[in-house]
Structure 1
Amino acid sequence: MRVFVTGASGHIASAVIPELRSAGHSVLGLARSERSAAAVRALGAEVRRGDLDDLEGLSAAVREADGVIHLAFKNEEMRSGDLGGAAAADLRAIETMGAALQGTGKPFVGTNGLLGLMLAGFRGRLAEQDVWPGGPRIDAENRVIALAEQGVRTSVVRLPPTVHGHGRHGFASGLIAIAQATGVAGYLGDGTNRWPATGTRDVGRLYLRALESAPAGSRLHAVAEEGIALRDIAAAIARRLGVPAAPVAPEDAGRHFGFLAAFVGLDAPASSRRTRALLGWEPAHCGLIADLLQEEEN
């Protein structure tokens, strides 16, 4: 297949694109800048310059492709506090790409974050069949799934907040940067809330399987570890940096954690049982804590 990948210079794409190419697919990667384009070319993909606001360009690229993997999101806007604006731009892009795919039967793999469902109000151990009526990024997930009724073989990969590998750790990288700046590896309250985690290479393999064989309307969980306590993540960061780990009071969360304050107290255990059974996906990368400590030892 010729696969159009948005967010092609990002962390997740650094695993997805090599998996696609190893499986014999060609890749057309969206890149916003020449620096991003160089990173996409280094992965062996062809470059399409543009961004999520270039709706005409997105439509044209999708029409040229045999399948789409949508990884891009306006993370800078989210980090600056405009999650709603970033989510709205994502939804517009999905509507545009979906319209170009209607009736084709081609695969369209979307992306969501597991923490977003907790932020919107879901509570408990999240499974693939659990859905939520709306919220930032959730509207986009639901729209992707709905395209299955319009002749598109859609699936959505829900990512944990800590996708780790290649020296990056998702939201945990933000916690590392905060600990470096403040001298404290912090967690909120007693730190017993949990985040799921998965290795980057395992996530790349799941996107490939979703593209090739996920049934239309599938929600998939890229989860290797169902839930790691935030205080354990903080302890690993503390050891890595040689700083203390300590609780942060709720009233100080915004000052200490910045944009992560909205997420750092969320309890988000998640299962991937159905995903593994459906696609035969089995994570093989080491766990998050081991990954952090391996880097500390090296």
Structure 2
Amino acid sequence: MRVFVTGASGWIGSAVVPELLGAGHQVAGLARSERSAERLRAAGAEPFAGNLDDLEALHAAASAADAVVHLGFKHDFSDYAASGATERAVMEIFLDALDGTGKPLLFASGIAMVAPGRISTEDDVSPYSGPDAPRGGVEPLAFGAAARGIRPVALRFAPTVHGAGDHGFAAVLAGIAREKGVAGYVGEGTNRWPAVHRSDAARLVRLALADPEASPVVHAVAEEGNPTRKFAEAIGAAVGVPVASIDPGDADAHFGWIGAFFASDIPASSALTRARLGWEPTGPTLFDDLAAGHYSAAAAA
């Protein structure tokens, strides 16, 4: 298949592209810059110049493809509503481009707050709908279009997609620990965060594309839920700072924008994903990567 990938040069996308190419697909990757285009060419993919605001170009690229894998997202937590509005506009363009074609549309989503306080599963329906919802409420929007001859697959990634070179949430927390001189957790630190290695997440995207009907929702989760106190202890050991509980009332001041998120209890199962797609994570655990020093370097950068 010819697959159009947004976020193709990003953290997850740059691992997904080789997986798709290795499976025999042709890949056209959205490239915001010449640097991104060069990375895609080096990987064996075709760069498609544009960005998530260029809706006309996105429509053309999706129309010319046999499948779309939408991994791009504007991670602007200073204006998350605007990020959500962009995401919804992009999804609407893809749905229009694929209308009536029967083509797969795989799109990045998240585990967070799907079923807070209990272990979420692939059968849980996203509670976020409407244009003002987080990520633009695109999960219900996409599944509502299934009757239009589109095959949507929600790729719910763990909040921590880790590995060497990661500059995501785990690296942010390591950076805060270095800056504050303490690796903190909120309250008792019993709330849980799922995790998955980048290589396992990329392989799952390939499997989901190969059989989009097998599991309309997939959970890219290798570790169901690491207690955040244990997470903080591993960060402290990696960065070389003590570990301490942060009062919930002080979480925002200590952690900044990630405070409320890090205080959330968001465990998730991937049992249905594994059964439906034959996926078994084989990569290092989050604690393996922390012990390997990947986040010590990220925090210092």
TM-score range, shorter chain: over 0.9
Q: CA deviation at 1:117?
A: 2.8
1:288 to 283, 286, 293: 286
C-alpha separation in 2, matches of 1:39 and 1:259: 31
Residue 185 of structure 1 aligns with which residue?
183
- Residue-by-residue CA offset, 1:67-88 (whole Å, 9 max, x unaligned): 110001100x22x2x2121011
Whether 1:156 and 2:154 are equivalent positions in the alignment is: yes
Residue 124 of structure 2 aligns with which residue?
130
C-alpha separation in 1, matches of 2:242 and 2:42: 39
Whether 1:111 and 2:122 are equivalent positions in the alignment is: no
C-alpha separation in 2, matches of 1:138 and 1:287: 31
C-alpha separation in 2, matches of 1:53 and 1:138: 15
Whether 1:88 and 2:91 are equivalent positions in the alignment is: no
Residue 67 of structure 2 aligns with which residue?
67
Q: CA deviation at 1:116?
A: 4.6
Q: CA deviation at 1:179?
A: 1.1
2:99 to 91, 102, 105: 102
Partner letter of residue 127 of structure 2?
A: P
Partner letter of residue 55 of structure 2?
A: L
Residue 18 of structure 1 aligns with which residue?
18
1:213 to 211, 214, 238: 211
- Residue-by-residue CA offset, 1:170-189 (whole Å, 9 max, x unaligned): 31111011112111111111
Q: CA deviation at 1:169?
A: 6.3
Partner letter of residue 110 of structure 2?
A: G
Maintained 8 Å contact 1:162/1:197: yes
C-alpha separation in 2, matches of 1:56 and 1:234: 44
Maintained 8 Å contact 1:163/1:169: no
Maintained 8 Å contact 2:33/2:49: yes
- Residue-by-residue CA offset, 1:217-271 (whole Å, 9 max, x unaligned): 7111011110001111111111111111111122222222111012010001111
RMSD, aligned α-carbons: 1.8
Partner letter of residue 98 of structure 1?
A: L
C-alpha separation in 1, matches of 2:253 and 2:180: 11
- Per the normalisation by structure 1, the TM-score is 0.93
Residue 141 of structure 1 aligns with which residue?
139
C-alpha separation in 2, matches of 1:220 and 1:20: 17
- The residue correspondences of 1:188-267 to structure 2 (distance < 5 A) are 188-215=186-213, 218-267=216-265
- Residue-by-residue CA offset, 1:183-225 (whole Å, 9 max, x unaligned): 1111111111000111111100110111111207711101111
Maintained 8 Å contact 1:132/1:138: no
- Residue-by-residue CA offset, 1:134-176 (whole Å, 9 max, x unaligned): 2312611111222221101110110001111133163111101
Maintained 8 Å contact 2:155/2:205: yes
C-alpha separation in 2, matches of 1:36 and 1:186: 35
Maintained 8 Å contact 2:183/2:241: yes
Maintained 8 Å contact 1:103/1:152: yes
Maintained 8 Å contact 2:88/2:136: no
Maintained 8 Å contact 1:152/1:216: no
C-alpha separation in 1, matches of 2:217 and 2:178: 36
Residue 56 of structure 1 aligns with which residue?
56
Question: Among the aligned pairs, what percent are the same residue?
Answer: 50
Partner letter of residue 112 of structure 1?
A: S
DSSP 3-state at the match of 2:85: helix
5+ long unaligned stretches in structure 1: none
C-alpha separation in 1, matches of 2:172 and 2:113: 17
Partner letter of residue 131 of structure 1?
A: V
Kindly tell me the number of residue pairs found equivalent between the two proteins: 292
Q: CA deviation at 1:43?
A: 2.2
Deviating beyond 6 angstroms after TM superposition, the runs of 4 or more aligned structure 1 residues are: none
